[in-house]
Amino acid sequence: MSLRLVKPEPRHVAEWRRWRTDPDSRRFMYLPAGGLDEWAAKLAEAKSDLADKTGELYRWIAEVDGQPVGSLSLSYVDWIQRFCEVGYVIAPEMRRKGHGRPMVAAGLDLGFASGLERIMAFICTDNDASVRLVEGLGFRREGLLRRHAIIEGERRDHYLYAILKEEWLSGA
Ligand SMILES: CC(C)(COP(=O)(O)OP(=O)(O)OC[C@H]1O[C@@H](n2cnc3c(N)ncnc32)[C@H](O)[C@@H]1OP(=O)(O)O)[C@@H](O)C(=O)NCCC(=O)NCCS
């Protein structure tokens, strides 16, 4: 099983939207409104090449044996402060099969290789899957962000997790 991150293409739009609109994703992630056209535009506006340091949002599709299984983003990228937020979703039918963690790991490899030094994750306090995923990669819980973000109309508490470049490279 080999996972690779590829640049999103128009053929990924419907799948990506399906993954993001499933009930568990909606429980834990802000869902932008709009039909397929808006989602296509959103997918097209993100960059994928981190050598291009003019962007704030980078996105990839994860493929396993050529099949799309999830999507990964580095967002709110600040190239001066060299930090960003990581976001991720796995196709509902592909969850709990060990794809999420290697997908995020591949994103950390890319992000830290590109010059970023701190990568954060904001996770709803009841999102057990996401907490386990990042803790297994060495992210540290740095705090509780009370009523941090609005999801499905409700302000939700989030944990702030982060991993530093030196921690990732040393496997600490
Ligand atoms: C979070 C998510 C990406 C995890 O993807 P995944 O492919 O299932 O993750 P993995 O199979 O690599 O599992 C990672 C760890 O989480 C655990 N896990 C997965 N789903 C779980 C669940 N529903 N409850 C508790 N633990 C869970 C796995 O057992 C594994 O733990 P371990 O290896 O330390 O024992 C996936 O559940 C998802 O897309 N959720 C909806 C979107 C979302 O919440 N995104 C994150 C927003 S912060």
Count the neighbouring beta carbons within 10 Å of the beta carbon of residue 124: 18
Residue nearest to ligand 1 atom 19, measured at CA? 129
pLDDT (tens digit per residue) in 88-108: 999 999 999 999 999 999 999
Residue nearest to ligand 1 atom 24, measured at CA? 129
Which of 3, 76, 101 to mutate to test ligand 1, by most ligand atoms within 8 A of the CB atom? 101
Task: Write the CATH number for 158.
Answer: 3.40.630.30
Answer yes or no: is the C-beta of 59 below 6 A from any ligand 1 atom: no
Domain range for residue 32? 3-170
CA of 132 to the centre of ligand 1 (A): 7
Q: Which residue in 165, 123, 118 sits closest to 141, CA to CA?
A: 123
pLDDT recorded at residue 30: 92
pLDDT (tens digit per residue) in 136-148: 999 999 999 999 9
Answer yes or no: is the C-beta of 20 below 6 A from any ligand 1 atom: no
Closest atom of ligand 1 relative to the 98 alpha carbon: 11
Total domains in the chain come to 1
Q: Are 6 and 69 in contact (CB under 8 A)?
A: no
CA of 135 to the centre of ligand 1 (A): 11
pTM value > 0.75? yes
Which strand (E) or helix (H) includes residue 159? Answer: strand 154-164
Task: For residue 125, give Cα distances in angstroms to 1, 61, 158.
Answer: 31, 26, 5
pLDDT recorded at residue 33: 85
Residue nearest to ligand 1 atom 25, measured at CA? 129
Which strand (E) or helix (H) includes residue 146? Answer: strand 140-151
Name the 3-class secondary structure at 152: coil
CA of 53 to the centre of ligand 1 (A): 30
pLDDT-flagged residues of the chain (< 50): none
pLDDT recorded at residue 32: 85
- 3-state DSSP of 35-85: CHHHHHHHHHHCECCCCCCCCCCEEEEEEECCEEEEEEEEEEEECCCCEEE
CA distance 131 to 139: 9
